[in-house]
Amino acid sequence: MEQQAGLQQRAAMKRHGRRQRARALQQRLLWRMAGYAAIIVSVLVIGLPIYWMLVASLKTSREIYIVPPTWIPLNPTLDNYPDAWRAAPFARYYINSIIVTLATTLSKMTLAVLTAYALVFLRFPGKNIVFLIVLAALMVPAQITIVPNFLTMGDLGLVNTYWGLILPGAATAFGTFLMRQYFMTLPREVFEAAEIDGAGHMRRLWEIAVPLAMPALVTTGLFAVVNEWNEFLWPLIITSTEDMRTLPIGVARLLDQEGLARWGVVMAGTMFVVLPVVVLFVWAQRYIVEGIAAGAVKG
């Protein structure tokens, strides 16, 4: 009898174990389906406007106003692109945007690396206070600094110049914070060994820290590129002539000229701004994930 009771107890435990495994498997399946559903919703919310913009740039004006709207152009045409290019001096806008974006991005990356290295590897009084100031700068909206920045640029005689476009955005609190977090995850033994070998701070920075922190550095650069490439308000305020305008202002001017009459031309002009950023993000998406994940690992 005792042996039979033991067998029944083991059988009951096996059935209970199978039910628990089945329940856990069902929960994992539900969470996975919820994750896929969230991804699909995110793709639709983010990707649908870009898809509509691309499709509208390939439609004729008559087809854009068809109800219900067509998601695939009935008669695709590229005529909107040369029309948009001729409607405004986009070649000049491209040159200005490239100069301002490259100069500001390089400045932000350099200052972020130098500041973050000092906050992590150097000892000086008030280091924690400096870091708190960097964190506080993250919470200040950029719009608040526009008036003092404009007055400063005016006093320096830099209104309507490249320097006036570049200098107010030459440093980044977010990039400094991200680089500091990444530097804190690097093994100190490597830097100590380099110091014993006689390497100074600059050599340790450029030959050890920067190569190891490349994902965070690329992420900082990409955020800077996107921010400067799409910046509208500051270039609109600090520039006053057509030859100093940037791409976002050119698209706004295109909208004023074409208005509701030729949305295909406006969408084609918008693609001039969006397409380089999308290509850049697709190319560097791996670095973005690694950089943000590394910055979130250690506080």
Contacts of residues 198-207 at CB distance under 8 Å and 24 or more positions apart, as own/partner, are 201/117, 201/121, 201/122, 204/121, 205/113, 205/114, 205/117
- Of residues 230, 96, 227, the one with CA closest to residue 164: 96
Is residue 297 predicted with pLDDT exceeding 60? no
**pLDDT for position 150:** 92
Give me 231's structure tokens. 């910046």
Mean pLDDT of 290-298: 56
Rounded distance, CA 234 to CA 231, Å?
A: 7
Is residue 10 predicted with pLDDT exceeding 80? no
For residue 163, how far is the Cα from the chain centroid?
Answer: 24
Buried/exposed 127-160: b ≥16 CB within 10 Å, e otherwise: eeeebeebeeeeeeeeeeeeeebbeebeeeebbe
Residue pLDDT, tens place only, 233-252: 899 999 988 889 898 888 88
Give me 141's structure tokens. 């909206």
Question: By the 8 A CB rule, do 145 and 171 touch?
Answer: no
Rounded distance, CA 71 to CA 133, Å?
A: 49
Residues in Cβ contact with 254 at an 8 Å cutoff, skipping those fewer than 6 apart: 84, 87, 88, 265, 266, 269
Confidence of residue 258 (pLDDT cuts 50, 70, 90): low
Residue pLDDT, tens place only, 100-139: 999 999 999 999 999 999 999 888 888 889 989 988 988 8
**pLDDT for position 299:** 45
Given 3.90.950.20, 1.10.3720.10, 3.10.180.10, 1.20.200.10, which CATH number is that of 80-297? 1.10.3720.10
Question: By the 8 A CB rule, do 247 and 100 touch?
Answer: no
Question: By the 8 A CB rule, do 216 and 291 touch?
Answer: yes
Rounded distance, CA 132 to CA 138, Å?
A: 10
Tell me the C-alpha to C-alpha distance, in Å, between residue 81 and each of 76, 96, 119. 12, 20, 48
Q: What is the largest CA-CA distance in the chain?
A: 101
Rounded distance, CA 278 to CA 275, Å?
A: 5
Confidence of residue 164 (pLDDT cuts 50, 70, 90): very high
- Please give the share of the chain, as a percent, with pLDDT higher than 90: 17
Residue pLDDT, tens place only, 32-42: 899 889 888 98
CB neighbourhood size of 30 (10 A) = 10
Helix or strand run (H / E) with residue 113: helix 90-121
Rounded distance, CA 197 to CA 193, Å?
A: 6
The CA R_g of the chain, rounded to the nearest whole Å, is 27
Is residue 184 predicted with pLDDT exceeding 80? yes
**pLDDT for position 111:** 93
- Domain segments of the chain as ranges: 1-65, 80-297
